[in-house]
Structure 1
Amino acid sequence: MNTIMYIKEELKHFINDNEKIFNQKLLTEATNVSTKITDILTKGNIDLLKNAKKLIFYTVDQQEEDLVTFAKVEGIAWAKHSLTLELKLEWVQAIRRTLWHFISIIDEEKNILHNREDYYSMEKLFNEKIDQFLNNFFLSYSHYKDEMIHKQREMVEHLSVPIIPIKHSVSVLPLIGSIDSYRIKIIEEKVLNDIAESRIQTLVIDLSGTAIMEMDVIDYFEKVLAGISMMGCSAIITGLRPELVKKMVHAGISFEKNAETRGTLQEEAGT
C-alpha cells in the first residue's frame, strides 16, 4: 500500500505541475467532447477540464463521500441542461485513459510499481471509484429526468381538466380521451380544489368524449363523486357512452347515489 500512496502523491503533483499537458491529453482522448467543451461551459456553466481534475483527485485520494456527492451534482447539472449521456460517458472514459497514461509516465520515470500486485491493487482501487462515480451520476441524471417528465405530465394533465364556469356557481368539466388511474387522481385533486376555491355548487361532468375507462378507474370515479357530494356540490353526469354504461351495469356500479345523470350536455344546458 506504501507504493500506491506514493504514486497517488506523485500523480497529483504531476497533474498540478503539468496542467496544460493534462488538458491537452484529455481533449485528444475525447474528440467529440473537445469540440463542445466551450458550448457546455456556456450552456451549463460546467467546466469539464476543472471537473476532470477534481474527479481524478477524489479517485486517487479515495474520497468516497465527496466523489458520490460530486457525481450526484454533475448528474443533475447534465440532466437540467439536456446534455447527453453519450458525451458524459466518452468524457469519463477519456479521464480514465488519461489517468492511466500519466501513471504509466510516472512509473517509467521513477520505477514505482515494482510488481504486478501493486499494479492490480491500484487498478482495482482507482477503477472502482471511477465506476462508482459513473453509477451515481447515471442514477442522479435518471432521477432528475424522471422528475421532470412527471412534473410535465402532471402539468399537462391539469390542463386537460378544464373546469369552465357557465353560470353563477355552475361549472362544466368536459373530459376527453381515455382516463387511467393516474389521470383520475389528477381529476380528483383539480375538481375538489376548484369546488372549494370557486364555491361551485353544481358541477356538470360531460363524459361524451370518454369511451375507455377501466373498472378500477370507474370505481375510483365513484369515490370522486362521493367527495364532490361531501363538499356540498351537486354533480351531474352527461354523455355516458353505451360501452361505458354496459361495463358499469355488469359490474353493479351506478353513479346515481352521488350524481344525477342526463343524456347530453346540451340537455343539461337547456334546463
Structure 2
Amino acid sequence: MLKNGIVELLPEQLHNIGEDKARNDRLISIGQVSAGIAHEVRNPLTSVKGFLQLLQEEKESPYLNIAMDELERALSTLNNLLQVSKPDLEAEPYKYISIGTELDSILSLFQEHMYRVSLVKSISDYQVKIYGQKNSLKKAFFNLLKNAFEAMPSQGELRISQFVKNETIHIMIQDNGTGIPKEKLDLLGTPFFTTKENGTGMGLTQVFTTLHKHGAKVNVTSEEGIGTTFTILFPIKNVKEVKIEKMNQLQTKEDQSFKEFLYDNQETFDRILHDRTKNVFLHLKKSSFQEQSMFEIAKRIISLIDQDAEHELIELAKQQGALWAKNELASMIKLEWFQELRSIYWDFMYHYFQNISISIEEFFTFEKKTNHYVDSYLNNFIVSYTDYNNKILQSQREVIEELSVPIIPLTDKIAILPIVGTMDTYRAKRLQEKALSHIEKERLKKMIIDLSGVAYMDTAVVSHLFKIVEGFALLGCDAVITGIRSEVANTMIELGVTFSNRIETKADLKQTLEELKII
C-alpha cells in the first residue's frame, strides 16, 4: 500500500523468474567482457589518435583527415560501450523520480513524429516515485521511445501506459511497427546486436543495463508485421517513515532519572525491541547469538551509556565485534539490530523528557553525550570485526603461500621442492626466501627441484629461478633439477643460462630418486 506517494525499489524481487535471471546474468557477463575488450582496444587507439594529430600538424592530407574521422567514430563507439557496460562508473546521484512525469517530458522531444504516429497515452499514479538515477532512466526511456518511432517508418500507433498494481509500477510501451523475429528476441540488449540497418545495438544495451541496475524487470513480446511491446515492472514498497513512536502506556514518576524510567518500563522496552528486530533473528538461528543473549547485551550497552563508562563500552564493542566475526555473521545484521536499539532508546528518551523540565542546553548536552557513546560503540565494533577477519585472511594467505612452496624432506640432508602450476615473479621471490631459509635451518646438502608440473614461466622468472638455484651453493647445498620442459629449455638457451658444476639436471624425478637410492 502506498504512503504519501513515495515508493522505493525492491531489487531483491528482481530474479523471481529463472528465465529473467539467466537473461540478466548473460547480459552482465557480456557487458563485463565487452567493457574489458573496449578498454584494451581504446588505449592503443588513443595513442594512434595522438600520432595522427602530430602528422596533421606536419602535413595536410585528405587521407589523414579520413583516418582521423574513422578513428573518432571507433573511439565514440568504444566509449558508448564502456558507458553502458559499466554504468556504476557514473557518479550521478540517486533521487526520487516520477516516471510518469519524465515520460511526458521525453514524449515532447518527438513532436516531429506526431504528424504520422497516433499517440494513445494512459498514465496514472503520477505521485508514485522511484529512487534512482534520473538522467540514466530518462536516457533508457528515450531509447525505447526512439526505437518505437523508428519501427513505424510511415504511419502507426504508439500506446504508452503506466499504472500501479500489486505493489508494482507497470509501464507499457507498445508500437504496431515492423516487429522483431521471434528467434532474435533473446538477443535484445546484447552489444552490437540490432535489427536496424544502420544501428549499433548500443541503445537497447543501455536500456537493459540501466533498468536491471534499478531493479526493474523487462518483458518483451513481438511479432513481425504486428508490432512490439515492452513491459517494465518496478517492484515497490513503502518508504519507512521516520518518526517518534507514541507510547502512552509508559510509566512515569516524578523526579525519576532516565535510568529509573528505563528500568520501570523494561518490559515494554523488551517487547518493542523484540517486535522490531524479529527478522534479524531469522539470520541467527544456527549461531550462538539468540534473542535472550542479545537482550542482555542491549541492557548492558544502555547501562554503560547511563554510567558514562566509555572504556567498558569500547571493550564490550571490541569483544562483540570479534565474537560476531568468529561466528561468521554478517556485520550488517548486527548493525540493523543496533540501529533499532538506538531508535527505541531515543523514543524512550523523547517520552522521558516530555515529563520533566529541562533547558535546551541540558537536552543537547545529553544528546551529544549519548550519540558520542553510541557512535563509539559502533566504530569499535566495526574495527574489531574487520581486524578479526583481516587476521583470518592473513593466516589463510600464509597457509596458501606455504603450500605454494612445499619443501618435503627425504632424508636428514636431502629435500625435494616440487613446483606445480604457474611460476610468477611473486612466487619465485617466496621460493627464494623459503628455500634458502630451509637450507640454512636444516643444513641440507642436496635440494631436488622438480619442474615437471610447471605450466608456464616467462623469461624474467626463468632467469630469476636459476639464479636462486645457483644461490643454494652459497649455503653449501647442491641442486638437482628434474623435469625441465622443452619450453623452459628453449628459454634458457635464449637467455644463455648455464649451470655451475654444483647443479645437476635429470630427465625426471624417478631417475633422481633411484640414483640417490631413495626408492
TM-score, normalised to structure 1's length? 0.74
| Aligned position for 1:171 | 415
Shift of 1:77: 0.6
Letter in 2 for 1:234: D
Shift of 1:161: 3.3
Sort the Cα spacing of 1:55 and 1:182 in 2 relative to 1 into closer, same or farther, 3 A: farther
Letter in 1 for 2:401: E
Supply the distance in 1 between the matched residues of 2:345 and 2:299 (Cα, whole angstroms): 10
Shift of 1:48: 1.5
Letter in 2 for 1:147: K
Whichever structure has more strand as a proportion of its residues is: 2
Letter in 2 for 1:137: F
Deviates more, 1:77-86 or 1:12-21: 12-21
Instruction: Spell out, residue by residue over 1:78-133, the C-alpha distance to the aligned partner (whole angstroms, 9 max, x if none).
Output: 1111121121111110110121011122122x234443x54444333322322222
| Aligned position for 1:51 | 297
Q: Mark the runs of 5 or more structure 2 residues left unpaired by the alignment.
A: 1-255
Counterparts of residues 205-220 of structure 1 (less than 5 Å): 205-210=449-454, 211-212=456-457, 215=460, 219=464
| Aligned position for 1:96 | 342
SS in 2 for 1:98: helix
| Aligned position for 1:3 | none
Counterparts of residues 1-271 of structure 1 (less than 5 Å): 10-35=257-282, 39-41=286-288, 47-108=293-354, 110-115=355-360, 117-165=361-409, 169-180=413-424, 183-184=427-428, 187-188=431-432, 190-192=434-436, 194-195=438-439, 200-210=444-454, 211-212=456-457, 215=460, 219=464, 222-223=467-468, 226=471, 228-240=472-484, 256=499, 260=503, 262=505, 264-266=507-509, 268-269=512-513, 271=515
Specify which structure has the bigger relative contact order, considering alpha-carbon pairs within 8 angstroms and separated by 6 or more residues.
1
Supply the distance in 2 between the matched residues of 1:47 and 1:104 (Cα, whole angstroms): 27
Letter in 2 for 1:71: A
| Aligned position for 2:94 | none
Shift of 1:248: 7.0
- Note if contact 1:184-1:221 (Cα within 8 Å) is conserved in structure 2: no
Deviates more, 1:91-100 or 1:233-242: 233-242
TM-score, normalised to structure 2's length? 0.42
- Note if contact 1:172-1:206 (Cα within 8 Å) is conserved in structure 2: yes
Whichever structure has more helix as a proportion of its residues is: 1
Identity of aligned residues (%): 31
Shift of 1:247: 6.8
RMSD (Å) for aligned C-alpha atoms: 3.8
Sort the Cα spacing of 1:140 and 1:167 in 2 relative to 1 into closer, same or farther, 3 A: closer
SS in 2 for 1:177: strand
Shift of 1:16: 3.1
Higher Rg of the two aligned structures: 2
SS in 2 for 1:96: helix
Sort the Cα spacing of 1:256 and 1:224 in 2 relative to 1 into closer, same or farther, 3 A: closer
Sort the Cα spacing of 1:15 and 1:183 in 2 relative to 1 into closer, same or farther, 3 A: farther
SS in 2 for 1:237: strand
Shift of 1:214: 8.4
- Note if contact 2:417-2:450 (Cα within 8 Å) is conserved in structure 1: yes
Supply the distance in 1 between the matched residues of 2:496 and 2:385 (Cα, whole angstroms): 44
- Note if contact 1:181-1:217 (Cα within 8 Å) is conserved in structure 2: no
Sort the Cα spacing of 1:53 and 1:170 in 2 relative to 1 into closer, same or farther, 3 A: same
Letter in 2 for 1:100: W
Shift of 1:173: 1.3
Supply the distance in 2 between the matched residues of 1:247 and 1:64 (Cα, whole angstroms): 64
For these two proteins, the number of residue pairs brought into alignment is 258
